[in-house]
């Protein structure tokens, strides 16, 4: 009986001791601190990777744009700044213009940070074609309207010829804006603010010389729109 009692005592002494509530709370606290340090770092790395991939997309699109531009004597293609989203799929815009140069289903049309399924993704691209927007500015439309008015008496011009004349005039005038301020307006840029950096959400952009940079908005202390922040020389 005495032997059995001693064996039982030794067994009790050897039994592993469980964590106390205080120890468990301490472990949970340490894990929480580690997670608070790791998660922002991982999120930042992921955002940076998406931004780098977005800039790579813009380089690919500019290459296709520049190839197409060389076929129309260096003029800027005149088309809508964004494709129209229709039940049959995206229609028009630079996506349609470059359809034979770079496929409309190519992944480079979409920013990796773009999750706007009903907006830009449905429209066929994450990027705005800025010349297609500048064509509607007064600096372009006023002289174009005057030119078209001067041809109203020329009955030999077909509607197609008139449209071609309008597009060529718009292309020349928009081209002048880029010649005067090549880094003021991008060729393509993110249609939304998707690349968070600190308290800013700038957009990536590619410019007329092929350089890719972070686009800065007008009116901020950091500089004027189009000035690069860490961009490259493409």
Decide: pTM greater than 0.85. Answer: no
Q: What is the mean pLDDT of residues 138-150?
A: 94
CB 197 within 8 A of CB 220: no
What strands lie across the sheet with 188-190, from one edge to the other?
127-129, 188-190, 203-206, 212-215
Lowest mean pLDDT among 32-36, 62-66, 165-169, 230-234: 230-234
- Tokens describing residue 106: 């190519």
pLDDT per position as a tens digit, 102-122: 988 899 999 999 999 888 999
3-state secondary structure (DSSP) of residue 214: strand
Please give the Cα distance from 186 to 131 (Å, whole number).
8
152-168 burial, b if ≥16 CB within 10 A, otherwise e?
eeeeeeeeeeeeeebbb
| The dihedral formed by the CA atoms of 162, 65, 61 and 120, expressed in degrees to the nearest 10 | -10
Average pLDDT in the 70-74 region? Answer: 92
Predicted local distance difference test score (pLDDT) of residue 223: 36
Q: What are the residue ranges spanned by the domains of the chain? A: 19-215
Provide mean pLDDT across the span 164-176: 95
């Amino acid at each position: 009986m005495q032997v059995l009692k001693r064996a039982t005592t030794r067994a009790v002494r050897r039994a592993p001791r469980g964590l106390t509530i205080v120890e468990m709370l301490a472990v949970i606290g340490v894990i929480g601190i580690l997670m608070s340090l790791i998660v922002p770092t991982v999120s930042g790395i992921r955002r940076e990777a998406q931004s780098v991939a977005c800039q790579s997309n813009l380089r690919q699109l500019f290459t296709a744009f520049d190839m197409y531009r060389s076929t129309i004597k260096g003029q800027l293609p005149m088309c809508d700044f964004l494709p129209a989203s229709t039940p049959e799929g995206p229609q028009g815009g630079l996506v349609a213009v470059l359809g034979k140069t770079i496929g409309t289903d190519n992944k480079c049309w979409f920013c990796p940070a773009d999750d706007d399924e009903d907006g830009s993704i449905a429209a066929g691209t994450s990027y705005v074609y800025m010349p297609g927007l500048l064509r509607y500015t007064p600096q372009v439309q006023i002289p174009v309207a005057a030119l078209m008015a001067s041809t109203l008496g020329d009955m030999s011009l077909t509607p197609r010829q008139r449209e071609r004349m309008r597009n060529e005039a718009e292309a020349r005038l928009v081209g002048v804006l880029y010649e005067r301020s090549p880094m003021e307006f991008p060729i393509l840029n993110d249609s939304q603010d998707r690349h968070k950096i600190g308290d800013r959400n700038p957009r990536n952009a590619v410019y007329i010389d092929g350089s890719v940079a972070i686009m800065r908005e007008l009116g901020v202390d950091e500089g004027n729109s189009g000035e690069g922040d860490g961009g490259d020389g493409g």
